[in-house]
Amino acid sequence: MNPATPRTTAWKRLTEAARRSQFEKVSDIPAPYGFATRVAARALSMPPTSAGPFFVAKLTLRGLCVAGLLAIVSVTINLGPILRNIDKAAGDLGGTSIEAVEVENNTEVPAQP
Amino acid sequence: MPADPDAPFDIARCLERVRARDQEAARELVEHLYPLVIRIVRSHLPRRVPEEDLAQEVFMKMFTRLGQYQGAMPLSHWVSRIAVTTCIDHLRAQKRRPEFRWADLSETEAEVLDSVITNENDVAAGDAFAARELVHRLLDQLKPEDRMVIQLLDLEQKTLAEISALTGWNTTLIKVRAFRARRKLRKFFQELKKEERS
């Protein structure tokens, strides 16, 4: 065993010493008086829950993960066309803005041939 | 007719009765599982949380989720996992971990720490309780999951398979957590050694 690991050094020595203090055996300790009755009464006073909502929740979470994954994949695949569309839209907007500035300055927009 | 106290506990029958809202069966189930739950709770008890409150919380979760228990694993394993996760949740909730300082140690604890760091003297048998306190102070410095793994491995000397059954974590994850915890402890001991020399 590697002597540099803490199992063989300070940590091991400390845990070996600590284990000597584990004299109490809890396996024979019964529940405190009235504990089991109190817990049982409280537990059964609550409405019973079925496995249904748990599975629905699990499915919902799984569905959310799949939807997220699909969204990422579709954005990755369509990134090129999306960027081209953005460029095109930006170009169109640029033209509009020049016209708008010209209108604002009361300059005549040259007639389209 | 009262049940024979020497007869083995029939878990399947008891669960059936609990599902039929039999309070007596629920009480018997709590009494049967109490030693298992209290052992886990006492070993991993977060500071300032009374053990009875924590045990009660574990049992309440058990009854709430009983509808999800399909019998794929022994009931004791299933309840152990609930107990372990409840303890981890409480440890996580303690956001601030108490700082470990030489000045906060009792005289005996400081002697024990000094002897394990310097490796000069063996820890006296009478100092076992102080050693245990020290171990818990050091474990408080770790992340709850790492602490749980290192405590089960090094203090309770459980095997990887036993820890896996108890926590539901696979063996690779347990090894990773143990490695991380030991690395942190090693670093911590080095710092303490430096502090002690200065």
Average pLDDT over residues A16-37: 75
- ipTM of the assembly? 0.72
Distance of CA B10 to the CA centre of its chain: 27
Contact B134 A14 (CB under 8 A): yes
| Burial grade of A86 (CB within 10 A; 0-12, 13-18, 19 or more) | exposed
Average pLDDT over residues A9-19: 82
Question: Is A25 part of the contact surface with chain B (CB cutoff 8 Å)?
Answer: no
B46-to-A58, A98, B109 alpha-carbon distances in Å: 30, 69, 20
Alpha helices in B44-170 (DSSP H): 51-64, 75-93, 107-118, 128-139, 144-150, 160-167
DSSP-derived 3-state class of residue A112? coil
How far is B185 from B163, CA to CA, in rounded Å? 20
CATH code of the domain made up of B11-95: 1.10.1740.10
How far is A100 from A107, CA to CA, in rounded Å? 10
**Which chain A residues are closer than 8 Å to B127 by Cβ?**
17
Per-block mean pLDDT, blocks of 10 residues, chain B (198 long): 61 89 92 91 80 93 88 89 91 74 78 76 74 85 89 90 90 93 87 73
Q: Provide CB contacts within 8 A for A108, sequence distance 6+.
A: A102
Residue A109 has pLDDT above 80, yes or no: no
Q: Whole-model pTM above 0.90?
A: no
How far is A110 from A100, CA to CA, in rounded Å? 13
Q: What is the pLDDT, as a whole number, of residue A104?
A: 56
Domain boundaries of chain B, sorted by first residue: 11-95, 107-196
How far is B159 from B174, CA to CA, in rounded Å? 10
Question: Is B189 part of the contact surface with chain A (CB cutoff 8 Å)?
Answer: yes
How far is A46 from A36, CA to CA, in rounded Å? 16
Tokens of B11: 């878990």
User: Are the folds of B11-95 and B107-196 the same?
Assistant: no
pLDDT category at A93 given cuts 50, 70, 90 is confident
Return the CATH class of domain B107-196: mainly alpha
Token pair 């209108």 in the structure block, residue: A103
Average pLDDT over residues A20-42: 78
DSSP-derived 3-state class of residue B13? helix
Q: What is the pLDDT, as a whole number, of residue A101?
A: 53
**Contacts of range B100-104, beta carbons closer than 8 Å, 24 or more positions apart:** B100/B137, B100/B138, B100/B140, B100/B141, B100/B188, B102/B192, B102/B195, B102/B196
Question: Is B56 part of the contact surface with chain A (CB cutoff 8 Å)?
Answer: yes
Cα atoms in the 13 Å half-sphere on the side-chain side of B165: 11
CB contacts under 8 A, A 38-77 vs B, are 38-44, 46, 48-51, 54
